[in-house]
């Protein structure tokens, strides 16, 4: 399963959802869904905006893969 590390990154960089929303132009609700990994689709444009604002250099800083157990 792919999952965003957005909540952890925002905590490290001392950003909140409202600030990231204003800086990227992404709706606050969308940011919140991404932080909680409720969002099932991420646009390339939004990922690029987030990476730029949070000064990330590699997509692996933002997205991680977690292997699911057979029970999940």
Residue pLDDT, tens place only, 25-67: 999 999 999 999 999 899 999 999 999 999 999 999 999 998 8
Q: From the CB of residue 2, how many other CB atoms can be counted at a distance below 10 Å? A: 9
3-state secondary structure of 27: coil
CATH no., domain 2-54: 1.10.260.40
**pTM score:** 0.87
> Using 50, 70 and 90 to split pLDDT, how confident is the model at 72?
low
């Amino acid at each position: 399963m792919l999952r965003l590390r957005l909540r952890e990154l925002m905590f490290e960089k001392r950003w909140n959802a409202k600030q990231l929303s204003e800086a990227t132009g992404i709706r606050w609700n969308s940011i919140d869904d991404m932080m909680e990994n409720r969002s099932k689709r991420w646009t390339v444009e939004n990922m690029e905006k987030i990476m730029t604002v949070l000064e990330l250099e590699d997509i692996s800083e933002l997205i991680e893969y977690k292997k699911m157990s057979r029970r999940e």
